[in-house]
């Protein structure tokens, strides 16, 4: 009796299998459930197909030819790439290469580039590209005049650059490529630094009259402001509702302001030549190119503490981004140092032993510029590992800013005194 039962089970299974094959999906047949897949056919039934439902009909994705080879769509598609084949893959056995159809062109996967850390791949009309892309490619642009462009800032939808020499010591641009000249509030002052904060551009000077500060709501119309002391003011930043400036000379080498208009002198903990100041992670941090302890930090911009640098270099620039302070030096063995808190610092190797003048952070990258060297730009996704980049020209690049997914740098000298790099995101 058990043999009869086994035979019945076998016949029933055979019958069900026949029914299943009779109901197998076919390309173009109706289906429901977008993304649902089904394999039809098999070794005994050629061709065998992998189908995917697009929500209404079954679409053939993979087909096994009668030779037994597994190919995408059909056997090698020697026809032209057109809009009906967008996204189709084909294998060229003669050339041993996969191709993909995009924008009416068959392109080879052999041209896939090596992308940097933090980048992805995007398919474009000219093949595969790394994205986001930007700081590896720079274009040169004309400044409004040949003069020493000392600093640049971004705010209120525009870049604003200030100069230490010449006439019309301010220029503005909405894209970093086309610039317009403007008269500064005092054309005898060398405007070394500019920042945007709390709806106001603020610039400071190391020289000139007692009015070594100027402000502007739009970067075009400027007003002089009285500085509390005629110190050699060299860098200004904004953070936590406070403007803070530092000087490389003078009695009190710090001044602060809640509005950019009314300023108060503050005592620095050391008579160092303070060259740069920034704010991040609840801390103001400044660096100097002279002195014993060339770092100072403050949680409020008023009370400062000296910190020890890992190497006694000529520290000239500092910024904050992605939870990290990054400072650069003119000289020394390791010309980069980093800190998570502004207090404890670690030496890092620069991409080249250049005179690094400035560094900024934006679009997920630290970008630095230098006044000399073969490659006068270096970039880093983490502030620790740096890569050299080719500048648009061999100018003495002094400063760099980021805004609207664009990096813009200006120089002290050179035929080309502006360069920019636009970040192109992934499509």
pLDDT value for 72: 47
Which helix (H) or strand (E) is 150 found in, with range?
strand 149-155
Rg of the chain over CA atoms, in angstroms?
31
Q: Using one digit for the tens of pLDDT, what is the confidence trace for 257-297?
A: 999 999 999 999 999 999 999 999 999 999 999 999 999 99
Residue with tokens 């690094």: 356
What's the CA gap between 245 and 382, in Å, rounded? 27
Spacing of C-alpha 411 from chain mean position? 20
* Token pair listed for 144: 């409004």
What's the CA gap between 267 and 251, in Å, rounded? 8
What's the DSSP call for residue 80?
P
What's the CA gap between 419 and 356, in Å, rounded? 16
pLDDT value for 11: 35
Higher-confidence residue of 312 and 116: namely: 312
* Token pair listed for 147: 């003069």
Spacing of C-alpha 192 from chain mean position? 25
Q: How confident is the model at residue 59 (pLDDT cuts 50, 70, 90)?
A: confident
Let me know if 307 is exposed, middle or buried by CB neighbors in 10 A (0-12, 13-18, 19+). Answer: buried
Higher-confidence residue of 373 and 132: namely: 373
Cβ–Cβ < 8 Å for 296, 269? yes
* Average pLDDT rounded to a whole number, residues 27-39: 74
What's the CA gap between 113 and 311, in Å, rounded? 38
Spacing of C-alpha 44 from chain mean position? 55
What's the CA gap between 132 and 128, in Å, rounded? 12
* Token pair listed for 133: 């892309």
Which helix (H) or strand (E) is 370 found in, with range?
strand 365-370
Q: What angle do CA 259, 297, 206 make, to 5 degrees?
A: 55
**Percent of the chain predicted with pLDDT > 90:** 65
Q: Is the entire prediction scored with pTM above 0.85?
A: no
Q: How confident is the model at residue 1 (pLDDT cuts 50, 70, 90)?
A: very low
Domains of the chain: 27-123 (no CATH), 139-422 (2.130.10.10)
What's the CA gap between 352 and 348, in Å, rounded? 12
What's the sign of the alpha-carbon dihedral 186, 188, 189, 192?
positive
* Token pair listed for 129: 């590209």
Q: What average pLDDT does the structure give for the chain?
A: 86
Of the candidates 201, 200, 227, the one whose C-alpha atom is nearest the C-alpha of residue 212 is 227
Whether a cis peptide bond, with omega within 30° of 0, leads into 9 is no
What's the CA gap between 392 and 377, in Å, rounded? 10
């Amino acid at each position: 009796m058990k043999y009869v039962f086994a035979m019945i089970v076998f016949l029933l299974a055979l019958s069900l299998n026949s029914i299943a094959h009779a109901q197998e999906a076919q390309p173009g047949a109706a289906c429901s459930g977008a993304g649902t897949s089904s394999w039809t056919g098999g070794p005994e039934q050629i061709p065998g197909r992998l189908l995917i439902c697009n929500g209404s009909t079954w679409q053939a994705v993979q087909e096994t030819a009668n030779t037994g080879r597994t190919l995408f769509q059909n056997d090698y598609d020697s026809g032209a790439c057109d809009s009906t084949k967008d996204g189709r893959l084909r294998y060229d056995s003669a050339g041993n290469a996969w191709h993909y159809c995009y924008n009416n062109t068959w392109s080879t996967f052999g041209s896939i580039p090596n992308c940097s850390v933090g980048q992805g791949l995007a398919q474009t009309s000219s093949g595969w590209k790394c994205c986001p892309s930007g700081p590896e490619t720079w274009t040169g642009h004309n400044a409004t005049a040949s003069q020493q462009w000392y600093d640049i800032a971004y705010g209120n939808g525009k870049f604003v650059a200030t100069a230490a020499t010449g006439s019309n010591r301010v220029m503005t641009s909405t894209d970093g490529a086309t610039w317009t000249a403007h008269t500064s509030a005092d054309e005898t002052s060398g405007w070394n630094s500019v920042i945007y904060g709390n709806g106001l551009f603020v610039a400071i000077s190391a020289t000139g009259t007692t009015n070594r500060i100027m402000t502007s709501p739009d970067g075009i119309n400027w007003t002089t402001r009285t500085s509390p002391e005629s110190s050699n003011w060299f860098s200004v930043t904004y953070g936590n509702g406070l403007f803070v400036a530092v000087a490389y000379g003078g009695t009190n080498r710090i001044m602060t302001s809640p509005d950019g208009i009314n300023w108060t002198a503050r005592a620095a903990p050391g008579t160092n030549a303070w060259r740069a100041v920034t704010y991040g992670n609840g801390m103001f941090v400044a660096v100097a190119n002279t002195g014993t302890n060339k770092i100072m930090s403050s949680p409020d911009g008023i009370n400062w503490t000296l910190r020890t640098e890992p190497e006694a270099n000529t520290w000239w620039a500092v910024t904050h981004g992605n939870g990290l302070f990054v400072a650069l030096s003119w000289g020394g063995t390791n010309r980069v140092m980093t800190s998570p808190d502004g207090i404890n610092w670690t030496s890092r190797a620069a991409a080249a032993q250049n005179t690094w003048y400035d560094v900024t952070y934006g679009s997920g990258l630290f970008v630095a510029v230098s006044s000399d060297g073969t490659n006068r730009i270096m970039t880093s996704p983490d502030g620790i590992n740096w890569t050299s980049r080719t500048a648009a020209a061999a100018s003495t690049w002094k400063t760099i800013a980021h805004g609207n997914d664009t990096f813009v740098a200006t120089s002290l000298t050179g035929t080309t005194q502006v360069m920019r790099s636009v970040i192109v995101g992934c499509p």
